Amino acid sequence: MLNENVLAKVKTLTESAKYDVSCSSSGTVRKAEKGFLGNTVGGIGICHSFADDGRCVSLLKIMLTNNCIYDCAYCINRRSNDIPRATLSVNELVTLTMEFYRRNYIEGLFLSSGVVRNPDYTMERLVRVAKDLRLIHKFNGYIHLKSIPGASRELVNEAGLYADRMSVNIEIPKEESLKLLAPEKDHKSVFTPMTYIKQGILINKEDQKKYRHTPRFVPAGQSTQMIVGATAESDKDILYLSSSLYHTPTMRRVYYSGYISVNTYDKRLPVLKQPPLVRENRLYQADWLMRFYQFDVKEIVDDTNPNLDLEVDPKLGWALRHPEFFPVDINSADYEMILRVPGIGVKSAMLIISSRRFSKLGFYSLKKIGVVMKKAQYFITCNELPTMTINEISPENVRSLLLPRPKKKIDENQLIIPFSDDN
């Protein structure tokens, strides 16, 4: 049973966990309704994530403890902060998860932790939670386990037997910046457990081919998170790192978390009035281009354009910088080139390829397919197209035609990252 004391700890620990976005979080509230079983305790700690098969699942997002021996400048849980602290025992966390699961509040668990004593001491407790859930309580829900930076290979390997997904947060893309803000951490302590996870998954895949009853090892792969805007790294630095991570076979998602000014007293950090959400969104769009639109990172950012354009999405930005590739003839171009047209997504590109076998496509059939003609019209040729293309109008004019009328001025803090004079 969950007593008041445990529920108070849960409140503190779910609050502390909310800054980690590496599970696609979005807090939700489910009020009790007649005919339905239970509610979500005021919505605290429940987030949504995507399982390996693409299903959206609700997870209990919580920390084992928000005590931490480290003092990372960007973190609310750093040891020098005077905040309410709490620690759940392994049994309390297992019971809590099972109670929530039985009541149908959640389909799984997203578990992270501050570091207590040392990385292995903490990791061992995280592993015990996952192990007890699977082996004692036969819990068959989703488990996303954060690996503690610096944890040993043995513990990471054991965790992988019980977790669906594991993640180690990079947080800061460049080592010198990480050293500045989190002197007790380095990139080695992050990339080493990532390598253990990768090796475990690859060995497991080979074993599965040879032995029928091989237990699964991190079947949903691994993910990581980078904080955006806490340090001076450009989008190029961030995206080049993401691109190299995606070239490893087990990295499924890189999450970008706009820096939230939680520790305003720390002069090593920029003073932002609000998190750089537009920049965060542009990074997700660029990430999408690399994963689903066959863009190479060098095409999205380079030395001339190290930061993404905040006013237009990265695909439109690329098209405006490369008018020589346009217009694309919708009725004859290959799939890869059609995919590069602003306003055409993966689904529309596939529909174009299959539909044009039966008749030539024009303005209205493209609209019907789902193409955003407001954008695409300047970059294509097809039957009955009433508009002039980018080369006739010029990229500058197309840009101004497509710029959204701003409802609200973009906060200048998101365009220039201000750092204090001391840095």
Closest by Cα among 93, 102, 97 to 126: 93
Query: How far apart are CB 58 and ligand SF4 at their closest, in Å?
Result: 24
Q: Which is nearer to ligand SF4, 110 or 217 (CB)?
A: 110
Residue 77 contacts ligand SF4 per CB under 6 A: yes
Q: Check residue 115 for interaction with ligand SF4 (CB under 6 A).
A: yes
- Closest CB 6 distance from ligand SF4, rounded Å: 21
3-state secondary structure of 408: coil
Q: Are 133 and 162 in contact (CB under 8 A)?
A: yes
Name the residue nearer to ligand SF4 (CB basis): 92 or 171: 171
Is residue 121 close enough to count as binding ligand SF4 by CB under 6 A?
A: no
Q: What is the nearest approach in angstroms of ligand SF4 to the Cβ of residue 102?
A: 30
In the stretch 168-207, what mask flags binding to ligand SF4 with x, by CB under 6 A? --------------x-------------------------
Q: Does 13 bind ligand SF4 (CB under 6 A)?
A: no
Distance CA 86, CA 114 (A): 11
41: left (phi over 0), alpha (psi -120 to 50) or beta: left
- Cβ distance to ligand SF4 smaller for residue 115 or 300: 115
Total number of residues that touch ligand SF4 (CB under 6 A): 9
Per this entry, what is the length of the chain?
423
Q: Are strands 56-63 and 108-112 parallel, antiparallel or unpaired?
A: parallel
Find the binder of ligand SF4 among 75, 251, 289, 380 (CB under 6 A): 75
Which segment (71-79, 231-239, 257-265, 369-377) binds ligand SF4 by CB under 6 A?
71-79
Q: At closest approach, how far in Å is the CB of 23 from ligand SF4?
A: 15
Secondary structure of residue 252 in the 3-state scheme: strand
Which of the residues 219 through 278 are near ligand SF4 (CB under 6 A)? none
For 266-276, b/e burial (b = at least 16 CB within 10 A) is: eebbbebeebb
78 binds ligand SF4 (CB under 6 A): yes
Shortest distance (Å) from residue 115 CB to ligand SF4: 5
Give the whole-angstrom CA distance, residue 8 versus residue 180. Answer: 35
Query: CB-wise, 50 or 70, nearer to ligand SF4?
Result: 70
The reply on whether position 70 binds ligand SF4 by CB under 6 A is yes
The dihedral over CA atoms of 89, 93, 95, 100, expressed in degrees to the nearest 10, equals: 160
Q: How do beta strands 108-112 and 222-228 pair?
A: unpaired
The piece of 66-74, 316-324, 334-342, 388-396 that touches ligand SF4 (CB under 6 A) is: 66-74
Among the candidate windows 72-80, 249-257, 264-272, 411-419, which touches ligand SF4 by CB under 6 A? 72-80
Closer Cβ to ligand SF4, 115 or 133, answer by number: 115
Tell me which residue of 104, 106, 111, 54 sits closest to 88, measured CA to CA.
Answer: 111
Half-sphere exposure of 405 (CA within 13 A, CB side): 0
Scan for tokens 């849980």, then name that residue.
Answer: 77
Q: Which helix (H) or strand (E) holds 268?
A: none
Query: Contact residues for ligand SF4 (CB under 6 A)?
Result: 68, 70, 72, 75, 77-78, 114-115, 182
